[in-house]
Amino acid sequence: MTLSTPPTRIPVRHVDIQADAGQRIDNFLKRELKKVPRSRVYRMLRRGEVRVNGGRVKPTYRLRVGDVVRIPPVFVTPVSPGAGNLPDAALSRVERAITFEDDALIVLDKPAGMAVHGGSGISFGVIEALRRLRPTERLELVHRLDRDTSGCLMVAKSREVLLELHQALRDRTVRKRYAVLVFGTWPKRLRTIRLPLHRYVVASGERRVRVAAAGKPSRTDVQVVAQREQATWINAHLFTGRTHQIRVHTFASGHGVVGDDKYGLPENRKLAEQLKIRRLCLHAEQIILPFRNTTLRFECPIPIDFQSAWDSFGAHRS
């Protein structure tokens, strides 16, 4: 795997205040550190990395003549092509999505509709935004989620952590649970789907997956959670992690994912439109994995629009 370009280090500076007297310290730092994200500037202030006359200050502090401002060393990550103008709204959305962070890992509750990385006509994704928000760190995706899938997404902060987690994925010691809404009544006896999957590209360049004898072995375990008139809520547990695996496995079993415009039947798409369901009802709800002699457990709550989609279907069935 190719890692990101190493960041450039801007050394520590001490600035004597004269002409900038009366300006707020946060605005002063934004001007002095033009290539550093705003979120990083405020984090420097919160952590006390910025010092005025040797002491900590709040972002609202107004500079005075004779103040000496210590601007700490910072790193600036080179911007990848196409990611030069990340909107503040997208950066804020990714920052809010972070549910866990330590010295090794970041875990996000990825919003539906946001890609995990740029490419194929998408100028940026979660990882580009994170690199902008965390310019001092070497961030790499541990795994991926479809653009329209929401939920738990792990990002490693070093190559060592990345390789360790990739090994856990290969050893299948990482357990993932997805909440899924599918059309129709799921057969309660259909608890395991074993269908080989083949990935291909259509004329437009879009990736697709189909069941094919020559495809890669794939397994999804399924548990029925609840039943309504026209849909079933299931939990899907991935034993393998193929592209679009849950979407294709459920569709091939006769019960496509609600809101899926790639693999759904026309009548199901029409029903979703009538019910005003505007998202793919597939959510990475839980990840459990061994790491550094302990077991980590991450959960992302069911999104409001996912729950609303479920509530839009008919009455409960026993």
Question: Would you list the domain boundaries of the chain?
Answer: 13-71, 86-171, 174-318
Q: What CATH number does the domain located at 86-171 have?
A: 3.30.2350.10
CATH topology of domain 13-71: 3.10.290
Catalytic residues: 146
Cα 259 to Cα 278: distance, rounded to the nearest angstrom: 7
Phi-psi region of 148 (alpha: psi -120 to 50; beta: other; left: phi over 0): alpha
H or E, element range at 295: strand 294-299
> Is the pTM above the cut of 0.85?
no
Q: What CATH number does the domain located at 174-318 have?
A: 3.30.2350.10
pLDDT at residue number 44:
86
Cα 139 to Cα 162: distance, rounded to the nearest angstrom: 9
Classify 72 as helix, strand or coil: coil
pLDDT at residue number 2:
40
Same fold, 13-71 and 174-318: no
Mean pLDDT of the chain: 88
The one-letter amino acid at 146: D
Spatial CB neighbours of 137, under 8 Å, sequence gap ≥ 6: 157
Q: Give the chain's residues under pLDDT 50.
A: 1-4, 79-83, 318
